[in-house]
Structure 1
Amino acid sequence: MKNTRVIARMDIKGPNLVKGIQFEGLRKIGNPNEFSKKYYEQGIDEIIYIDIVASLYERNNLSDIVSKTTEDIFIPITVGGGIRSIEDVTKLLRCGADKVAINTAALKRPELITEISNRFGSQCMVLSIQAKKIAANKWEAYYDCGREKTGIDVVQWARKGYELGAGEILLTSVDKEGTQAGFDCELIKAVSTIVPIPVIASGGMGDTSDFIEVVKKGKADAVAVGSVLHYDKLGITEIKANAIKEGITIRG
């Protein structure tokens, strides 16, 4: 039986950890390195850093944060936002990142997925998908924090991403992001049943029952958690303990 991973999702703007609702109305929360260290000590399995203003500056500004994090944190770290080339990936991996999450650049030039996968291994290439529901069982891929539409079907894009060499999918529901109102389980299931690679559910975690539902109903391989951790609504130990009680195999 697979181990379900609990991942801390950290949205970064400048030097700060921030959080909004549907990526809007961002609130400053604090120093990302301090939060990462706390989550690591509490038993988080992985950390995802997303530079959410990287599209504006056309570059990822997380090198310093990642370098500092990896001094005393020894779990996989994924970095996303503004990564557009092999050079960008090389720089972040040198700083200590284990994987990169790519959305905008992959949509604009899908061959980048293959280039990264061939150069660094598919396990390094995480396809980040921002999904907005447009009809029953139909979602459109967006970029720029859910503001820019593409006309691309999410499920088809996930499948294509896998075929091009992505080793994992970070699937964020823009509608649910930051709401703490539960995951879009239909979205997660639609993608996880069409690709044989791990799917990380992101956007909507409000309590431990949401975690259990997205793993059982949505078939998620991992769950990205943001607001409930940052605002101390839930602890990692509590999330894992409740999942184990419900028969979910948890890493660690």
Structure 2
Amino acid sequence: MLRPRIIPCLLVHDDGLVKTVKFKDPKYVGDPINAVKIFNEKEADELIVLDIDATVQGREPNFRLIAQFAAECRMPLCYGGGVRTVEQAKRIIGLGVEKVALSAAAVEDPMLISRIAAEVGSQSVVVVLDVKNSLFGKQEVWTHNGRKNSGKSPVELAKDAERLGAGEVVINSIDRDGQMKGYDLALARKIRDVTRLPMSVLGGAGSLQDIGELIKGCGVVGASAGSFFVFKGQYRAVLISYPSPEQKDELLRASLPASAARA
């Protein structure tokens, strides 16, 4: 039976590991390859690496850096950033990456999802939806690192992703990015209600309690976080961390029905 996953998300900017707040003001926090080594030691369930420069700068993925990530990573790895063609996706998978994440390209050319899935398999295609609330409470998907409003609903795009052959969807709250005040549970539930795809949620985690509340509210999901795994304490000192196996087991027992937690 599938179990919830706890997934660190690493943001890469100028080849360095950074953290943002509401997709702005990237703060350098270290070497991303070193972070991968630490998460290996801590036996993370999975890892997401997002290059936040590639799409904005109109360049292709940094295959040299991706190869380094793939060679070092001992857990399932998802890479996103600048992927716009089937050939790029195939090359990334060929380097040893398990999943390719699409964002702007999938919004602008939804059939790209189907074309890539046909070549590398649906299980390797992840659609990332970066969601922001408007002044009037409407939720829309933004692309290009939160700079371009697609005007499209995350609910409709999630349904389209499933119909077109994606294997997973990641829901990322721009408004909660770096805030460490909890996930947007209402948004997560909306997406959970309209798709059977494996789903991961990103943006806002600041504690294991936040992760537990997400799992309670949405069941078997991927609970992803950035700041929670790289900052410590009120002064946000840089410290790579991850729950121990005992902490994860306790979290699942507290968050899931007894039968699911034992599976």
Contact 1:51 1:82 in 2 (8 A): yes
User: Runs of 5+ in structure 1 lacking a partner?
Assistant: none
The answer as to 2:251 corresponding to 1:240 is: no
Distance (Å, rounded) in 1 between the aligned partners of 2:55 and 2:208: 33
Q: CA RMSD in A?
A: 2.2
Residue deviations 1:137-196 (CA, integer Å, cap 9, x gap): 842111012221111111011001110111100110111111101000010110011101
Correspondence list, 1:73-88, <5 A: 73-88=73-88
Contact 2:36 2:72 in 1 (8 A): no
Correspondence list, 1:104-183, <5 A: 104-134=104-134, 138-183=138-183
Q: CA deviation at 1:73?
A: 2.6
Q: CA deviation at 1:244?
A: 2.9
Runs of 4 or more off by more than 4 Å in structure 1? 135-138, 249-252
Distance (Å, rounded) in 1 between the aligned partners of 2:220 and 2:145: 22
Contact 1:208 1:242 in 2 (8 A): no
Distance (Å, rounded) in 1 between the aligned partners of 2:58 and 2:220: 31
Q: CA deviation at 1:250?
A: 7.3
Contact 1:137 1:187 in 2 (8 A): no
User: Runs of 5+ in structure 2 lacking a partner?
Assistant: 234-240
Correspondence list, 1:6-155, <5 A: 6-134=6-134, 138-155=138-155
Letter of the 1:45 counterpart: D
Distance (Å, rounded) in 2 between the aligned partners of 1:25 and 1:174: 13
Letter of the 1:244 counterpart: L
Distance (Å, rounded) in 2 between the aligned partners of 1:235 and 1:162: 31
Work out the number of aligned pairs and report it.
252
Equivalent residue for 2:216? 216
Comparing 17-26 with 212-221, greater Cα deviation is found at 212-221
Contact 2:47 2:78 in 1 (8 A): yes
Q: CA deviation at 1:242?
A: 4.1
Distance (Å, rounded) in 1 between the aligned partners of 2:114 and 2:199: 18
Secondary structure of 1:38's counterpart equals: helix
TM-score (structure 1 length as normaliser): 0.92
The answer as to 2:11 corresponding to 1:4 is: no
Secondary structure of 2:36's counterpart equals: helix
Distance (Å, rounded) in 2 between the aligned partners of 1:61 and 1:229: 25
TM-score (structure 2 length as normaliser): 0.89
Equivalent residue for 2:206? 206
Distance (Å, rounded) in 2 between the aligned partners of 1:127 and 1:86: 14
Q: Tell me: CA distance 1:160–1:135, structure 2 relative to 1, closer, same or farther (3 Å).
A: farther
